[in-house]
Amino acid sequence: MAFNTKHGSVVCLLILGVLTTPTVSVYTLTDQGGLGARFDGVGGLSGGGATSRLLVSYPEPYRSQILDYLFKPNFGAALQILKVEIGGDAQSGVGSEPSHMHSAGDQNYTRGYEWWLMREAKKRNPSMRLYGLPWAFPGWVGGGEAFPYHRPETTASYIVNWILGAKTVHGLTIDYVGIWNERIHDVTYIKTLRKTLDDNDLGHVMIVAPDGGWVQISKDIMADSELAAAVDIIGAHYPGTHSPPMAQQTGKTLWSSEDYSTYNNGTGASCWARILNQNYVNGHMTSTIAWNLIASYYDDLPFPRAGLMTANQPWSGHYEVSDPIWVTAHTTHFTSPGWHYLKSVGHLDGGGSYVALTDGKGGLTIVIEAMSHKYSQCIRPLLPPYDVKSGQAATFRLGGSFENITRLHLWYSKLIGSQTEHFKSQDDVEVSGGMFSIEVEENCLYTLTTVKEDQPKTYPTSPAPAPFLLPYKANFDGPADSSEAPYFADQTGVFELYVNESSSDHGGTLRQNLTERPIVWCNDADSAISVIGDYNWSNVSVSCDVMVESGGGAFVAARVDRGGCDISQAKGVFFWLLEDDTYNWMLSTDLSRNHVLGQGKVNATIVGQWHTLTLFVKGDSVAGFLNGGNVLFDITDAQLPTKKGFAAIGTLGFQKVQFNNFAVDTSKL
């Protein structure tokens, strides 16, 4: 039967009392005979890569509001684990993140924004667990080999330095560390990492391996007692809610250390609701971590809005508290790491699943989901067909420590189209004789718990979305919470704010700092590039002062059509200034310079001198100016390959180049 509450008519139905019809299924929840596995928490992943890039540039109060929705206990998602990328100076999916050690003699623990993000998470929840994982490594780590395991002691020391820097510079205790994201693991390296951690009084740091698949690491652990002692947790990615028998036979804690990766609408939320329960029910996984934490990157980069929420307009202050935030709350508001699952968890007879957790002191939280196949498909892996009955009746019998519970607080969400309702408190459920019954509706999520909580407050709706307005100018002066310039999204290379003490006219600059190709995770370009702006920009001018420090070259660009792991294939309009004996300027329609529209020689010293590059693009017309007045090209029928895209700056290769007085405006051609 349906009924009304203080929140209005409920679509997800509840039946109080004990149902006596023959079709009712009865599920027993008890701690008699012991408990199940320790619950380790629900997490979000910032990285893989640069997925939180725009968040740090949000103005207050919106930035703090977003952080509260992610991390503040009993408010929004109330996440319990924050996993971050250990930046490796290379593209790792959506962008590149800077390393703490560009070279063997370099250590800087203020680069990037992950330090800031971890501090903000811990500020809101001091119990937050922190987890670091590399996707890529600086080139020097490999000692001439494009492989991080070539010198295991060097690589282990590099990772341990990051953990030590987190503590000494930021007061952050790292709890977990991984090996190499979704790449082959190396047994010798894992053992070396364990020894290096222990030698640096970091015995508390637990190793998660391999952050990829189940099979090989399980075989290796079963065959090698020293490796088994080194690895604390087997972490798999996108396991489809299942773990193989061999992984379970290792006796190791099992995690889905990266999962979800789905557009954050109702379908994405339903995917998340299903796997949060079924990763334990089917696969005995005690933690699930969402990639990604927050979609704080441009929509036209890969995997748009594949975060628990979206915040990708710092210029307007607009953000969206997406459906997965409230799905997460169904578990995190009423549990804590250290609780235990009951052994009596499982599937509903009519489809869906239930888990129950306890604090070991008589507290109980039950989460029930009935997500349909149609509306809960994650982006990966393929979800086998199944059916969910709507309106299936279920009776729960409480035993052991729970048999004297007389009422449970009830929360529900409905996750389908215009009927969507988020995390609503309903009237308490009366438990009579240790039993209660509910009617479970399709695409609904329920939490029944002994933990009392008021309906969480929310912030007023954020400002309306707005396009990235022109003109835009940046001179790279002033302090920042990140080493990177606001709104720029590095795709290859590392562009960092820099104080140029040798120039009074260019004191604050943006500098591309890599001088060696990193050990890459995907197909980085041979040229460093950072994109910015509105992908719909078409007829624009892009201008920037550049100074090539010691050879190579620099460019400004418009209509750049892509980022991420395909950045080496980027097309657009690229205006190059080069240190070359044959020609020192070039116009190309791709980053790899395979398609050249023009090139030539200008009488100017390139290295060590500041020059202003200005590119105008309108329709198929393009013009380029050097230092304000010297017209290097003016083509009226260029038949350009892209009609819109990002603006960008970059370098010919991995050379140090400084940029200043960047500007984008409507083209005056």
* pLDDT (mean) for 594-602: 96
Q: Which of 198-212, 280-294, 472-486, 568-582 has the lowest mean pLDDT?
A: 472-486
The set of residues, in sequence order, having a beta carbon less than 8 Å from that of 422 and lying 6+ positions away, is 323, 326, 413
Q: 31 pLDDT exceeds 50?
A: yes
What does the DSSP 8-state code read for residue 89?
Answer: S
Each residue's pLDDT tens digit, 50-59: 999 999 999 9
Q: 478 pLDDT exceeds 80?
A: no
Q: pLDDT-based confidence at 21, cuts 50/70/90?
A: very low
Q: pLDDT-based confidence at 417, cuts 50/70/90?
A: confident
**What does the longest C-alpha to C-alpha distance in the chain come to?**
93
Q: 23 pLDDT exceeds 70?
A: no
Q: 337 pLDDT exceeds 70?
A: yes
Distances from the Cα of 433 to the Cαs of 183, 353, 437, 621, in angstroms? 53, 24, 12, 80
- 266 phi, psi to nearest 5 deg: -60, -40
Residues marked active site are found at 182, 258
CB 403 within 8 A of CB 384: no
- For the chain, the average pLDDT equals 95
Distances from the Cα of 105 to the Cαs of 141, 327, 440, in angstroms? 11, 45, 60
Give the H or E element holding residue 280: helix 266-281
At 481 the pLDDT is 72
Distances from the Cα of 348 to the Cαs of 117, 271, 286, 386, 424, in angstroms? 39, 17, 20, 12, 22
Beta-bridge mates of residue 340: 38, 358
* pLDDT (mean) for 98-121: 97
Q: pLDDT-based confidence at 479, cuts 50/70/90?
A: low
Q: pLDDT-based confidence at 502, cuts 50/70/90?
A: confident
- More reliable by pLDDT, 416 or 41: 41
Could you give the CA distance from residue 140 to residue 431 in angstroms, rounded to a whole number?
A: 63
Could you give the CA distance from residue 199 to residue 201 in angstroms, rounded to a whole number?
A: 6
At 504 the pLDDT is 80
At 12 the pLDDT is 57
Q: pLDDT-based confidence at 13, cuts 50/70/90?
A: very low
Q: pLDDT-based confidence at 630, cuts 50/70/90?
A: confident
Could you give the CA distance from residue 483 to residue 459 in angstroms, rounded to a whole number?
A: 29
Distances from the Cα of 516 to the Cαs of 103, 519, 524, 565, 658, in angstroms? 9, 9, 12, 19, 17
Q: pLDDT-based confidence at 133, cuts 50/70/90?
A: very high
Written as one letter, the residue type at 189 is: Y
Q: 8 pLDDT exceeds 50?
A: no
- More reliable by pLDDT, 281 or 502: 281
* pLDDT (mean) for 152-180: 98
Q: 9 pLDDT exceeds 70?
A: no
Q: pLDDT-based confidence at 570, cuts 50/70/90?
A: very high
Q: 173 pLDDT exceeds 90?
A: yes
Q: Where are the alpha helices (DSSP H) in 171-244?
A: 187-199, 215-223, 225-230
Each residue's pLDDT tens digit, 368-385: 999 999 999 999 999 999
Buried/exposed 474-493: b ≥16 CB within 10 Å, e otherwise: bbbeeeebbbbbbbbbbbbb
Written as one letter, the residue type at 318 is: H
Q: 6 pLDDT exceeds 70?
A: no
* pLDDT (mean) for 569-587: 96
At 1 the pLDDT is 28
Could you give the CA distance from residue 217 to residue 209 in angstroms, rounded to a whole number?
A: 7
What pTM value is reported for the model?
0.96
Q: 335 pLDDT exceeds 80?
A: yes
- Of the candidates 70, 65, 59, the residue with the CA atom closest to the CA atom of residue 118: 70
Q: What angle do CA 447, 374, 377 make, to 5 degrees?
A: 75
Give the H or E element holding residue 368: strand 364-369
Q: 17 pLDDT exceeds 60?
A: no
From the CB of residue 225, how many other CB atoms can be counted at a distance below 10 Å?
Answer: 9
CB 285 within 8 A of CB 258: no
Each residue's pLDDT tens digit, 521-557: 998 999 999 999 999 999 999 999 999 999 999 999 9
Q: pLDDT-based confidence at 4, cuts 50/70/90?
A: very low
What does the DSSP 8-state code read for residue 505?
Answer: S
Tell me the two tokens of residue 56: 């740090």
Each residue's pLDDT tens digit, 388-409: 998 999 999 999 999 999 999 9
* % of the chain beyond a pLDDT of 70: 96
